Amino acid sequence: MSDLTWRNKVRVLYSEQVIAARVAELAREITRDLAGTSPVAIGILKGSFVFMADLVRSIELPLTCDFIAISSYGDETRSSGVVQLTRDLSHSIEGKDVLIVEDIIDTGLTMQYLLANFQTRHPRSVRVCTLLHKPDNGRVAVTIDYTGFSIPNEFVVGYGLDYAGRFRNLPFIGVYDESL
Active site residues: 106
Q: How far is CA 88 from the centre of its chain?
A: 16
Q: How far is CA 18 from the centre of its chain?
A: 17
Beta strands in 57-145 (DSSP E): 64-71, 84-87, 97-105, 125-133
71: β partners: 84
Map residue 177 onto helix, strand or coil. Answer: coil
- Exposed / middle / buried, residue 141 (Cβ in 10 Å: 0-12, 13-18, 19+): exposed
